[in-house]
Every structure is written in C-alpha cells, then in structure tokens.
Structure 1
Amino acid sequence: MAQNPKFPAALDAAPQIPSDIETNHDEFDYSKRSQWLRAAVLGANDGLVSTASLMMGVGAVRKDIKVMILTGFAGLVAGACSMAIGEFVSVYSQLDIELAQINRDKKRAAAGVSVDPAAAAAGDKETLPNPMQAAVASALAFAMGAIVPLLAASFIREYRVRIAAVAAAAGVALAVFGWLGAVLGRAPVAKSCARVLIGGWTAMAITFGLTKLIGSKGL
C-alpha cells in the first residue's frame, strides 16, 4: 500500500514510551509502606531516645551503674507497654469505624441503594487493621530501640565512659534508624539521618542538663 504523503511514517508509528517512565505494574507502591514504616521507625526512635534520656538524666545525679541500668530497664518495660496499649486502642477505634461503615454500606446495598465499588472493596477482611498486630509491632519496635542504651551501659563501670558510651551508641542507632527509614521510604537519606540524630541528641542533652540542675539544687 502506498504511503499517504500527508501522514508521514513517523506519525503513523505508535508513540514510544521512554524506558525511564514506563509503568511497571509489578513495582511496589512505596506509599503503602508509609503506615507501618512510620509506626516502626517512631516506636524504635521513641524507645531509644526516651530510654537513653532517662538513663542519662538519672546518671547526671547518680553514678551507680545498678541504678542507671534499673532505670533504663523500667523505662523499656513501661514504654513498650504504653506503646502497645496506645496503638491497640487507636487501631481498634479505627477498626470500629471501618466496620460501622461496612455495615452501613451493606444495609444500603440491601435497600437497593448504589454503593461505591471502592468502599465495597475496602470491606475485605484482609485490608482491615489488626489491633493486636499493631500493638505487638509497636511494643517490639520500642524495645528494640530501648535495648541499645541498656547494652551500651551494662558492662562499663567507669561513670564518664558509661555516659559517653550511652550517648555514642544512641547516636549511631539514631543515624541507622534515620537511614533505614529513608531507604525503605525512598526519602532523602542525609536529611532523614540529620533530623533524627539532632532531635535525639537534643532530647538527651536537655534531660541531662535539667536533671543535673535540679540535682545540684538539692530538690
């Protein structure tokens, strides 16, 4: 067949999609990671910062290693339980809301009222939040963060070296948590690490300083 001169071959050919913007349906949607990633990083970071700050605060007025370790362990247990209970209640409230919406959609569908297909798909049990799973994950994440300063201080008798070891171990762990969150979420690594590290060290410094000040006043 002769080619129509008004329509060159370049226009007849199907447009080519550049390889760098081709849609890959098998590629993982990183936005789906945001919820569990946020909870895991927040729990680990909270466990690390709160326990390290608590240990350094007590260490500012008490040099006894046993007191420091017991304080850190109590902070680990209390914080993990608090995170678990808080996450359980929060996720259970979300579950109740979603179940109530599913029941309303079922009643509307039974009455012959059209229901949004997206809302109907959301009623799949596999997509509903799991309160117990969220509670256990939060508690484990908190404990993983809190164990870092405990291990750093457990085998060091010298007071100044122990304080420095807790601060250094916490700093390394904070940088790792920031890096991990950035890599898994495809976010800028440098900014994430700096933000987490500066925030954690600031919390520890404030706790140490204020406790030292109060202790020096004999309150």
Structure 2
Amino acid sequence: MALDHSSLNQPKFRSQWLRAAVLGANDGLVSTASLMMGVGAVKQDIKVMILTGFAGLVAGACSMAIGEFVSVYSQLDIEVAQMKREKERDSIDQDQEDDDGDEKEKLPNPMHAAAASALAFSVGAMVPLLAASFIRDYKVRLGVVLGAVSLALVVFGWLGAVLGKAPTFRSIVRVLLGGWLAMAITFGLTKLIGSSGL
C-alpha cells in the first residue's frame, strides 16, 4: 500500500503558511509604523500622519502581492516544467495520468499567495493606523502608536516562535528590538533632515 506523503506534510505546510502570514503582518506593522513615526517627527498634523500610514499600507500590500505573485509563478513554472520532464521520461499509463492531475492540484497558486501576502501586510499595517486615528494630541498619539505597535510586536514575535518551534523569549526580544530600531532610525533621520531645512 502506497504511503500518502502529501497528507503527512500538510501540517508542516500549514505551519509554514501561517508563519509566512505572521512575518507578512510584522512587515506591515513595522513598515507602516516607521513611516508614520518618521512623518510624525516633522509634522504634527494627524491627517498627514494617517494619510502617510494609509499610503504605506496600500503601497506595501501591493508590493508584497506583486512580489509574491512573481515569486510563486516562477516556482510554478519550474515545477510544471519538472513534471513535464518526468512525464516524458517515464512510460505513460492511466494511473500516472491520474497522478498528474492530483499533482497539478497541489501546485502553488500565485493568486492565492499574492492575496494572502497582501492581506497579512494589511492586517499588520492597520495596528498603527487604528492606534493613531482618534488621538488629536501629538505627543499622546506618538505614545499610543508606540505602545500599540510594541504590543503587536510581542504578539507576532511569540506567534513566530511558536509556529517555528523556536525559543519564545529570544524571538519576542528580537522582534521587539528590531521594530523599535526601525521606528527610531526613521524618526531620527527624518527629524534630522527636517530640521536641516532641506
């Protein structure tokens, strides 16, 4: 009796997709928050900050979707070409044709990958946007954005560690420090350039 390797690998592939979704959401979170903090360094207007965050969300989601589509389509082309070579090399009977049909169903779908990537990025990007949306006071707004983003970074760090079966504490610290560093550098450089009068 033949062993169905696909059924054995399904949990592994599911955890890989979930981990990729967490990483995509983390990208959206850090990128959008850094943009908003950078603009917040030189502009205190809430409307400018929100528009910047929204533009970052849309641009990032489109970039992630297109990048994932191209990457997965390239992978699909390689796998289809490999299947054709194997089909030509082996003798063709009815059972193998059925297997080919099953294999084609298991191939990666570029559209699904693109949509998932864009959605994951957008989920992360919504955190700083929602945190800043209803707070008029400039300093309070920056503090709330930093707090909300920090909490989300802790959650994403923990999820990434659990899905990747890695040490939880180290993963959380790494993700948190990385996010803080990205926001601090963006804020600092934008403040420097803004104050220089360029």
Scaled by the length of structure 2, what TM-score is found?
A: 0.88
Question: Aligned AA for 1:50?
Answer: S
Question: Does the 8 Å CA contact 1:178/1:189 hold for their aligned counterparts?
Answer: yes
Please list, as runs of the form range in 1=range in 2, the aligned pairs for 1:25-174 lying within 5 A after superposition. 31-33=12-14, 35-110=16-91, 124-174=103-153
Q: Which runs of 5+ in 2 are unaligned?
A: 1-6
With over 3 angstroms needed to count, the CA separation of the structure-2 counterparts of 1:164 and 1:83, relative to structure 1, is same
Asked whether the 8 Å contact 2:64–2:117 carries over to 1, the reply is yes
Residue in structure 2 matched with residue 13 of structure 1 by the alignment: none
Partners of 1:162 and 1:122 in 2: how far apart? 55
- The correspondence for 2:174, drawn from 195, 201, 209, is 195
Which amino acid in 1 is paired with 2:108? Answer: P
**Counterpart of 1:58 in structure 2: which amino acid?**
V
Q: CA deviation at 1:31?
A: 4.0
SS in structure 2 opposite 1:129?
coil
Structure 2: distance between partners of 1:129 and 1:57: 37
| AA partner of residue 86 (structure 1) | G
Per-residue deviation, 1:65: 0.3
Given that residues 54 and 129 in structure 2 are in contact (C-alpha distance below 8 angstroms), is that contact kept between their aligned partners in structure 1? yes
Q: Cα 1:216–1:122, aligned 2, differ >3 Å: closer, same or farther?
A: farther
Residue type of the alignment partner of 2:63: S
> What is the CA–CA distance in structure 1 between the aligned matches of 2:77 and 2:63, rounded to whole Å?
21
The match for 2:191 is 212
Partner of 1:14: none
Distance 1:41 1:68, change over 3 A: same
Identity of counterpart residues, as a percentage?
74
Bigger mean CA offset, 155-164 vs 37-46: 37-46
**Separation in 1, partners of 2:106, 2:184:** 42
Relative to structure 1, the CA distance from residue 41 to residue 122 in structure 2 (aligned partners, 3 Å threshold; closer, same or farther) is: farther
Contact 1:102 1:123 in 2 (8 A): no
Unaligned 5+ segments in structure 1 are 1-25, 112-116
- Residues 197 and 121 of structure 1: is their aligned pair in 2 closer, same or farther, counting only changes over 3 Å? farther
Q: How many equivalent residue pairs?
A: 188
Change (3 A) 1:99 1:202: same
Residue identity opposite 1:211 in structure 2: T
Distance of aligned partners of 1:182 and 1:33 in 2 relative to their CA distance in 1, 3 Å threshold: farther
Structure 1 distance, partners of 2:16, 2:71, is 13
| Richer in helix (by share) | 2
- Aligned counterparts of 1:93 and 1:28: Cα–Cα separation in 2: 22
Q: CA RMSD of the aligned region, Å?
A: 2.3
